[in-house]
């Protein structure tokens, strides 16, 4: 046997071995942390982070999204778009059953959409462009839009549009339906038990529609309210997965170095959390663009990333995170430059008027960031007063526009039409509400660009529009963009394929397996 | 003590009328607490509808308006109060906005865990406090006295969360003797005695953390009170009668010295629940302390008020028991009519 053949054989054996090593194994239990404890698991009625993290295993959407935000099949096996971009036809997967054995059909999709329009604020907004939804047969759903809506294929993930069993909810009082406490979905795991304050237990769905999946037997979501105690739970081997944001940032490097521990920042591409400072454009010194620009120059965002966030994340360049569609970094840059900040403040005639800063009451990391920003701004001669509140109190102050500078971070949902425009267009100025245009920025050109961008076709046209919008916004600084946040997921290395989509741990554990 | 118990039973009609009066007063106090807290909670900035809309990532006005209507928050305050008090009268604690479940059910799920934790901590603190206090008084001025005082004060001076974290570090992380969190082993599926032992293992650290904090006051109080009683004439008489020192200490000094300790224990019943909030948080103990804390942050008015009502009722019951125990400890005390 020649050396070359031998080498080839060895290589082939090696490849086979490595392929075998990566062959998913079935069985086992994953213990993961859920923080805070979700108020309920009925995803169609309760839309908060922890609810989706658990219920993303129980319920499913028509689609899921790759890390590059390309749509992938879930309950819909294929889809097509008409030439005028106004008709979307989804072919549903056959043989899908609810956890109680009843078949999943187009009737469930129609019912879910009607229900979500009443119970799910984000779904209602997303569906605003839909004129009608029809089901020509049991496995086909056709959406007809009033006008083309660019991000339409991006609104079908499980948290944005979960499918609800019609046979269990139709004609009942949704709020008090007993299945809210024992949810029935089509997902890879079934609800089994919830000991309030302790844990939620999900077990494998043996009739799941993707043959061979899920690989795990069960998942325990453990409720541990204290951040230090969550770290200890991981250290002592009581939990295997700490989803992003479970522990304080300063604990991340220490935990990452533990034996058999793997860390990933992946799985947040769809949400793309972006942190910024609301700047109240309506009154005082911040009404002047130069003061807002000075704030951008005054804040050392690299320091925040490297020290406060332990090097995680990325300094933001503008209103879009780099992971979402139509992002451009071809915009005005704001490096850390206190001298320039001082000059701009002088030019704007700022005379040390008091400015109120509202940090975010989400724990130690945010508190430290608040202190760092305060120091940065004081260094360039601004007079800053920190206002301490809890989350509810802070939200109210922001919603009532009773602030000067306030920390926040928001999800972007993959597309500027879904998660960016709402913070800058004039029509989203509404007192008493959070997460819209609370800074009071108003620019008719921006209004038009976001209005056009949502309905323009093809994507190259949308790209052009959104790039222009980003340039204008970065010049105007309606808010001060800080960081594209990264919430690292910490887990035992034996946990494989936990994160396979752009929705990450919020998309269910159907691909995950344990290398025992 | 047996004689005292006999005294208590001897006058059942007196006792019953005393209890009845206290119950009536208790209901009035409870009502005052409800009304006061109803307004106090609403004085705090923050709106439950905005909090929930925020969690849902919702930005439209319709959603917030819907939430307000759904939870009756759009009605005038007096009407909201009337509806709430009417509900309480029929033992209906209302509906939790955020958790979308009846408040009574939510509290019912958590109350047993809190009672187990607080009563165990209470028993630990009283037992150790009285024991150490007695020893400290008996050996007043000695090295043992100083040692006990320092030991007790250390636990009193350290914040509960710190003691809890150090306990976890030592007994869970370093030695791996005790579980660091939870009520029982998740997925352990223990039954019968094995389950009792499992819960007990989980209970040791939280109960000790909470108990050791309160132990200090009982130790100090017992010590001071015993030293004071020791100087009284009837102790000299007992000594002159030729009773042994041990009998004098136990039957005469300790029993009389316990009155202020009992008073303090009654007062502590409320504070214990406050301490349980922190202990439950650090040890992930599924009790109402944590439920209350979350409800406060979420401005879940009904749930928060519900927890207040239950806690207040518990404090009132504890105080009633304290008054009955007074009589048990000191037969000279009469039931006031």
Cβ separation of B64 and A432 shorter than 8 Å?
Answer: yes
Tell whether A236 is within 8 A of chain B (Cβ): yes
Q: Average of pLDDT values for B321-337?
A: 72
Overall average pLDDT of the B213-226 stretch: 91
* ipTM of this complex: 0.78
Nearest CA in chain A to B96: A39
Task: Choose among A122, A232, A411: nearest Cβ to B173.
Answer: A232
Q: Collapse the DSSP code of B188 into the 3-class scheme (helix H, G, I; strand E, B; otherwise coil) and give the result.
A: coil
Residues 6+ apart with CB under 8 A from A247: A227, A230, A231, A234, A255, A490
What pLDDT is recorded for position B234? 86
A238–B181 C-beta distance less than 8 A: yes
pLDDT, chain A, mean:
91
CA A18 – CA A515 distance, rounded (Å): 13
**In this complex, is the C-beta atom of B285 within 8 Å of any C-beta atom belonging to chain A?**
yes
Q: Contacts of residue A40 in chain B, CB cutoff 8 Å?
A: 99-101
A389 touches chain B (CB under 8 A): yes
Instruction: Report, as an integer, the average pLDDT of B156-162.
Output: 90
At residue A7, the pLDDT reads 45
Q: Using CA atoms, how far apart are residues A358 and A367, in angstroms rounded to an integer?
A: 10
Look at residue A457 in the predicted model and tell me its pLDDT: 86
Contacts of A181 in chain B (CB under 8 A): 101
Cα B106 from Cα B100, distance rounded (Å): 10
Percentage of chain A with pLDDT > 70? 96
CA nearest neighbour of A59 among A71, A47, A72? A47
> What pLDDT, on the 0 to 100 scale, is given for residue A21?
53
- On the CB side of B70, CA atoms within 13 Å amount to 21
- Binary contact (B101, A198; C-beta < 8 A): no
Which one-letter DSSP state was computed for residue A420?
T
pLDDT above 90 covers a percentage of chain B that reads 27
Measured CA distances, B17 to B11, B22, B312, B327, B334 (Å): 10, 9, 22, 15, 12
Q: Which residue has the higher pLDDT, B201 or A39?
A: B201
d(CA A436, CA A426): 10
Q: Which of B48, B70, B110 sits opposite A197 (nearest CB)?
A: B110
Reported as a pLDDT band with limits 50, 70 and 90, residue A436 is confident
Q: Does B45 touch chain A (CB under 8 A)?
A: yes
Chain A residue with minimal CA distance to B186?
A199
Bridge-based pairing of strands A405-410 and A274-279 is antiparallel
Enter the tokens of residue A341. 């900040």
Alpha-carbon span A329 to A331, nearest angstrom: 5
Stretch 291-320 of chain B: residues touching chain A, C-beta under 8 Å:
291, 294, 297-299
Which whole number is the average pLDDT over A301-328?
93
Residues of B whose CB is below 8 A from A199: 182, 186
pLDDT band at A1 (very low <50, low <70, confident <90, very high): very low
| Axis crossing angle, helix B301-329 with helix B103-138, rounded to the nearest 10 | 40
What's the N-to-C CA distance of chain B in angstroms?
Answer: 24
DSSP B332: T
Instruction: Find out whether the peptide bond into A214 is cis, omega within 30 degrees of 0.
Output: yes
Cis omega (within 30 of 0) for bond into A36: yes
- In order of A502, B119, B285, B319, the CA distances from B324 in angstroms are 64, 18, 31, 9
- Paired with A29 in beta bridges are A218
Place of tokens 């001076």: B157
B166 and A CB contact within 8 Å = no
Q: What is the pLDDT of residue B60?
A: 63
Question: pLDDT grade, residue B59 (50/70/90)?
Answer: low
Q: Are A438 and A399 in contact (CB under 8 A)?
A: yes
For residue A112, which of A185, A178, A187 has the smallest C-alpha distance?
A185
Higher-confidence residue of A189 and B53: namely A189
Tokens of B335: 């039931």
Please tell me the predicted confidence (pLDDT) of residue A372.
Answer: 96
Q: Reply yes or no on whether the pLDDT at B259 is more than 80.
A: yes
Residue of B51, B55, B283 with shortest CB distance to A229: B283
Alpha helix positions (H), A127-278: 166-169, 227-235, 252-256
State the greatest distance between any 2 C-alpha atoms of chain A, in Å, as a whole number. 86
Alpha-carbon distance values, A417 to A22, A268, A454, B318 (Å): 39, 18, 5, 59
Using DSSP's 3-state secondary structure scheme, residue B218 falls into: helix
* Residue A147: predicted pLDDT: 92
Give the pLDDT band (50/70/90) at residue B314.
Answer: confident
Cis peptide leading into residue A458 (ω within 30°) = yes
More confident residue, B259 or B269: B259
B262 or A212: whose pLDDT is higher? Answer: A212
pLDDT at B58: 60
Contacts of B141 (CB under 8 A, 6+ apart): none
For A84, residues 6+ apart whose C-beta sits below 8 A from its C-beta are: A148
Answer for the pair B220, B247: CB distance below 8 angstroms, yes or no: no
Does the structure show a pLDDT above 80 at A349? yes
**CA-to-CA dists, residue B81 to B30, B35, B317, angstroms:** 14, 7, 25
d(CA B50, CA A395): 7
A16 CA to chain B: closest CA distance, Å?
A: 36
d(CA A488, CA A311): 11
What 8-state DSSP symbol labels residue A132?
E
Are the C-beta atoms of residues A416 and A326 closer than 8 Å to each other?
Answer: yes
- Asked whether the predicted pLDDT for residue A261 surpasses 90, the reply is yes
A-chain residues within 8 Å CB-CB of B45?
389, 392-393, 396-397
The stretch A95-114 carries a mean pLDDT of: 97
Q: What pTM was estimated for this model as a whole?
A: 0.84
Number of Cβ within 10 Å of residue A325's Cβ equals 21
* B137 Cβ neighbours under 8 A, 6+ residues apart: B145, B222, B223, B226, B227, B230, B253, B257
Q: What is the pLDDT of residue A17?
A: 45
What does residue A236 show for φ and ψ, rounded to 5 degrees?
Answer: -90, 5
Cα–Cα distance between A141 and A304 in angstroms, integer?
47
Phi first, then psi, for residue B47 (nearest 5°) are: -125, 125
Residue A16: its pLDDT value, please?
Answer: 42
Query: Residues 434 to 493 of A: which have CB under 8 A from any B CB?
Result: 434-436
Between A96-110, A238-252, B4-18, B204-218, the lowest mean confidence (pLDDT) is in B4-18
Strand A383-386 vs strand A354-358: parallel, antiparallel, or unpaired? parallel
Alpha carbon separation from A421 to A176, A413, B59 (Å, rounded): 35, 11, 12
Q: If you average pLDDT over every residue of chain B, what do you get?
A: 85
Q: How confident is the model at residue B224 (pLDDT cuts 50, 70, 90)?
A: very high
Q: What residue of B is the nearest CA neighbor of A31? A: B186
Position A458 pLDDT exceeds 60: yes
Higher pLDDT, B176 or B60: B176
pLDDT at A222 (0 to 100):
94
pLDDT of residue A11: 44
Helix spans in chain B (H): 2-10, 12-43, 48-55, 61-70, 77-89, 103-138, 143-157, 160-167, 192-230, 233-241, 245-247, 255-282, 288-298, 301-329
Which of A237-241, B4-8, B31-35 is predicted with the least confidence, judged by mean pLDDT?
Answer: B4-8
pLDDT bracket for residue B55 (50, 70, 90): low
**Banded model confidence at residue A9, pLDDT cuts 50, 70, 90:** very low
Interface probe with B: pick from A221, A392, A399, A439, most Cβ of B within 10 Å:
A392
Look at residue A341 in the predicted model and tell me its pLDDT.
97
pLDDT band, residue A267 (cuts 50/70/90):
very high
Per residue in A126-167, pLDDT (tens digit) is: 898 999 999 999 999 999 999 999 899 999 999 999 999 999
B42 touches chain A (CB under 8 A): no
Q: What is the mean pLDDT of residues A232-238?
A: 92
In this structure, the number of other CB atoms found within 10 A of the CB of residue B16 comes to 11
Flag whether pLDDT at B9 surpasses 70.
Answer: no
Cα–Cα distance between B240 and B253 in angstroms, integer?
Answer: 15
Asked if A210 and A192 count as a contact pair (C-beta separation under 8 A), the reply is no
């Amino acid at each position: 046997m020649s050396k070359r053949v031998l080498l080839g054989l060895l290589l082939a054996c090696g490849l086979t071995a490595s392929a075998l090593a990566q062959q998913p194994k079935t069985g086992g239990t994953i213990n993961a942390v859920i923080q805070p404890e979700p108020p309920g698991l009925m995803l169609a009625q309760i839309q908060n982070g922890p609810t989706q993290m658990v219920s993303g295993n129980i319920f499913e959407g028509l689609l899921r999204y790759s890390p590059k935000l390309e749509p992938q099949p879930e309950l819909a096996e294929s889809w097509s778009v008409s030439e005028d971009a106004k008709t979307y036809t989804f072919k549903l997967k056959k043989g899908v059953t609810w956890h109680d054995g009843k078949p999943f059909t187009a009737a469930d999709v129609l019912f879910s959409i009607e229900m979500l329009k009443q119970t799910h604020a984000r779904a209602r907004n997303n569906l605003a462009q839909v004129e009608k939804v029809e089901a020509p047969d049991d496995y086909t759903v056709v959406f007809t839009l009033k006008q083309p809506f660019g991000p339409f294929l991006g609104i079908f993930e499980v948290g944005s549009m979960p499918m609800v069993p019609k046979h269990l909810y139709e004609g009942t009082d949704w709020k008090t339906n007993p299945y809210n406490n024992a949810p029935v979905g089509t997902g890879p795991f079934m609800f089994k038990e919830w000991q309030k304050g302790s844990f939620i237990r999900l077990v494998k769905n043996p009739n799941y529609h993707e043959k061979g999946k899920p690989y795990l037997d069960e998942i325990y979501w453990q409720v541990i309210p204290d951040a230090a105690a969550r770290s200890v739970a991981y250290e002592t081997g009581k939990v295997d997965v700490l989803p992003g944001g479970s522990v304080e940032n300063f604990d991340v490097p220490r935990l990452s170095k533990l034996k058999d521990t793997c860390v990933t920042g992946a799985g947040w591409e769809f949400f793309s959390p972006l942190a910024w400072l609301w700047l109240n454009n309506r009154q005082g010194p911040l009404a002047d663009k130069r003061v807002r620009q000075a704030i951008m120059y005054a804040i050392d965002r690299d320091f925040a990333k490297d020290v406060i966030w332990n090097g995680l994340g990325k300094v933001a360049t503008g209103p879009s995170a780099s992971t979402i569609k139509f992002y451009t970094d071809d915009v005005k840059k704001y490096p850390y430059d206190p001298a320039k900040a001082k000059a701009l403040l002088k030019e704007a005639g700022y005379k040390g008027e008091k400015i109120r800063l509202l940090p975010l009451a989400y724990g130690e990391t945010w508190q430290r960031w608040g202190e760092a920003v305060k120091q940065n701004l004081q260094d360039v001669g601004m007079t800053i007063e920190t206002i301490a509140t809890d989350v509810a109190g802070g939200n109210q102050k922001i919603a009532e526009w009773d602030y000067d500078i306030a920390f926040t971070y928001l999800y972007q949902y993959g597309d500027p039409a879904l998660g960016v425009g709402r913070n800058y267009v004039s029509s989203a100025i509404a007192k008493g509400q959070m997460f819209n245009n609370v800074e009071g920025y108003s620019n008719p050109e921006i209004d038009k660009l976001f209005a056009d961008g949502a309905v323009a076709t093809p994507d190259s046209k949308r790209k052009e529009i959104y790039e222009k919008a980003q340039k204008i916004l970065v010049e105007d600084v309606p808010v001060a963009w800080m960081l594209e946040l990264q919430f690292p997921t910490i887990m035992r290395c034996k946990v494989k394929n936990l994160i396979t989509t752009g929705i990450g741990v919020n998309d269910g554990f159907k691909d995950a397996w344990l290398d025992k | 003590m047996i004689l005292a118990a006999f005294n208590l039973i001897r006058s059942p009609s007196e006792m019953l009328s005393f209890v009845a009066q206290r119950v009536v007063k208790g209901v009035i106090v409870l009502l005052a607490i409800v009304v006061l807290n109803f307004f106090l909670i609403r004085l705090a900035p923050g709106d439950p509808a905005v909090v929930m809309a925020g969690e849902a990532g919702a930005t439209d006005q319709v959603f917030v308006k819907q939430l307000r209507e759904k939870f009756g928050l759009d009605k005038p305050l007096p009407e909201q109060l009337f509806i709430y008090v009417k509900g309480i009268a029929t033992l209906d604690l209302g509906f939790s906005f955020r958790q979308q479940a009846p408040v009574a059910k939510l509290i019912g799920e958590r109350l047993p865990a809190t009672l187990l934790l607080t009563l165990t901590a209470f028993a630990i603190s009283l037992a150790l406090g009285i024991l150490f206090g007695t020893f400290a008084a008996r050996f007043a001025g000695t090295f043992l006295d100083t040692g006990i005082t320092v030991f007790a004060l250390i636990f009193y001076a350290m914040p509960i969360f710190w003691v809890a974290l150090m306990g976890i570090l030592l007994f869970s992380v370093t030695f791996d003797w005790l579980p660091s969190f939870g009520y029982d082993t998740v997925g352990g599926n223990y039954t019968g005695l094995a389950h009792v032992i499992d819960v007990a293992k989980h209970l040791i650290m939280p109960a000790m953390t909470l108990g050791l904090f309160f132990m200090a006051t009982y130790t100090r109080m017992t010590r001071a009170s015993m030293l004071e009683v020791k100087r009284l004439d009837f102790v000299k008489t007992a000594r002159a009668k030729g009773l042994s020192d041990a009998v004098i200490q136990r039957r005469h000094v300790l029993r009389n010295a316990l009155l202020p300790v009992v008073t303090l224990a009654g007062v502590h019943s409320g504070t214990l629940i406050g301490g349980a909030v922190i202990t439950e948080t650090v040890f992930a103990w599924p009790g109402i302390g944590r439920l209350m804390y979350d409800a406060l942050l979420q401005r879940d008015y009904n749930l928060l008020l519900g927890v207040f009502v239950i806690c207040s009722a518990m404090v009132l019951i504890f105080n009633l028991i304290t008054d009955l125990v007074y009589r048990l400890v000191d037969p000279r005390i009469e039931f006031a009519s």
